Chains A and B, each alone.
Chain A
Amino acid sequence: MQAFTYHRPTDLTEVVKILADCEDPKLLAGGMTLLPTLKQRLAAPSDLIDLARIQNLHGICEDKSEIVIGAMTCHADVAASALVRAFCPALADLAGQIGDPAVRHRGTIGGSVANADPAADYPAAVLGLNAIIETNQRRIKADDFFTDLFETALEPGEIITALRFPRPHKAQYQKFRHPASGYAVVGVMVAQFAGATRLAITGAGPNAFRPAALEEALTRSFTAKALEGLQLDPDELLSDMHASAAYRAHVALVLAQRAVGLIA
């Protein structure tokens, strides 16, 4: 790991100032992706800004009809939260399937969402459950957030502060887990809201996405059968040593049908 200056601010104003003053700063949340990246020298930031001491980024609360999860809340706390489980069991289940227990004690929801790894689990929840990404500057709709491989709508100097989830009528997350890494080869979140079904896929494309044809079919008839004969276009999906694009397209459809089957 190359040398850097370590900062540990206690409020967001200080973070913004350090971000503006430094040459090549990086925000440190749980570090479950960033620290391995630094160890491999795939990144060499001049400054690391640790967000752990900013108190109002931690914790889970209910706000009217939404559940609000602070950006620095770790996966284990989301998975174990009685509030999250009562509000949306699929979200707690998803958090409990990330990585392994020791990783879940450190990795954070804000870090995962900001990193936008194509195989991360949370993007499927954020997009499928129609969450709002709260930052120090504005609120961003999930539909506008994930833009490309590791790319998001976040501007330089913008910091995720919380994720706001509306309550779905019902939701299910189904994941084909890579047996070694724990990442989603494909993960599918299906959520029923009043009048509409949302379906978000992670792991398969460069970023989490909602296939319109599948959602339309489910909005017409919420049955696994309604998805029969539909296809995702493999040309738009990822292909790597673990799974071809055609395989990912197939698995996504199977997982979507399973998720619907568990709800319907």
Chain B
Amino acid sequence: MNITLTVNGQTLTRDVAPYLLLADFLRDELRLTGTHVGCDTTQCGCCIIHLNEKAVKSCTMLAVQADGAQLTTIEGLARADGTLHPVQEAFRDHHGLQCGFCTPGMVMMGADIVRRLPGADEETIRHQLEGNICRCTGYQGIVEAIMDASSQAKAS
């Protein structure tokens, strides 16, 4: 089945099998391997991307369901000139990662939280991260990074 979608600002058409998962489409067909598949069971959040500006788990969507949609993956979050998204910058400032496997999903979820809930407090952010699992950091740096970006978003 032919699908046409916009990924990181670029519109493309591909012929895909109906059962191809969106995460596999991004990684295997488009070679956008920044989107990670951790659990493949909708738990870990490593595969989070933005679908029409909303965070979704791309391992639990079919590529055909994204026909006509606007997608942003971790590769498309920074500006074209290389300026990092404020959440990416904050992850660097607050050491919001160790091994880095969960990081693309954490950053995409973080950007979604900052967009929806500017100025969110720590408790809110921890609840909002319920669908993202990190096995290294203990979450402290991640939460601090998102809080920082969130308070910046409110101030601006």
Contact = CB atoms under 8 A, between A and B. Distances in A.
Interface of A: 1-6, 8, 28, 31-32, 35-36, 38-39, 48, 50, 52, 76, 99-103, 105-106, 180-182
A36 B41 contact: yes
A106 B51 CA distance: 10
B61 A35 contact: yes
Contacts of B128: 101
Counting chain A CB atoms within 10 Å of each CB, which of B1, B19, B42, B57 scores highest? Answer: B42
Given A100-B131, A101-B128, A2 B56 contact: no
A138 to B, nearest CB: 29
A103 B131 contact: yes
30 contacts: A1-B21, A2-B19, A3-B18, A5-B18, A6-B18, A6-B64, A8-B64, A31-B62, A31-B65, A32-B60, A36-B41, A36-B42, A39-B40, A39-B41, A50-B65, A52-B65, A76-B54, A100-B45, A100-B131, A100-B132, A101-B109, A101-B130, A102-B109, A102-B131, A103-B42, A105-B51, A106-B56, A106-B57, A106-B60, A182-B130
Listed from nearest, the 7 A-B pairs whose CB atoms lie closest are A100-B131, A6-B18, A100-B130, A105-B54, A1-B19, A102-B55, A102-B57
Contacts of B19: 1-4, 38
A31 B60 contact: yes
Contacts of A36: 41-42, 60
Contacts of B146: none
A101 B113 contact: yes
B74 interface: no
Contact of B1 (A6, A31, A102, A180): A6
Contacts of B1: 6
A103 B45 CA distance: 10
For chain B, the bracket of interface size reads 20 to 34
B130 A48 contact: no
Interface of B: 1, 17-19, 21, 40-43, 45, 48, 51, 54-57, 60-62, 64-65, 67, 109, 112-113, 128, 130-132
Nearest to B64: A6
B131 A35 contact: no
A72 B56 CA distance: 16
Contacts of A100: 45, 130-132
Contacts of B55: 101-102, 105
B118 to A, nearest CB: 14
A33 to B, nearest CB: 9
Counting chain A CB atoms within 10 Å of each CB, which of B17, B54, B112 scores highest? Answer: B54
A101 B60 contact: no
Counting chain B CB atoms within 10 Å of each CB, which of A32, A35, A181 scores highest? Answer: A35
Contacts of B54: 76, 105
Contacts of B43: 180-181
Nearest to A177: B130
Nearest to B47: A102
B60 A35 contact: yes
Counting chain A CB atoms within 10 Å of each CB, which of B48, B64, B65 scores highest? Answer: B65
Contact of B18 (A4, A99, A103): A4
Nearest to B54: A105
Nearest to A80: B116
Nearest to A2: B19
Given A8-B67, A101-B130, 6 more contacts: A1-B19, A32-B42, A36-B41, A39-B41, A100-B131, A101-B55
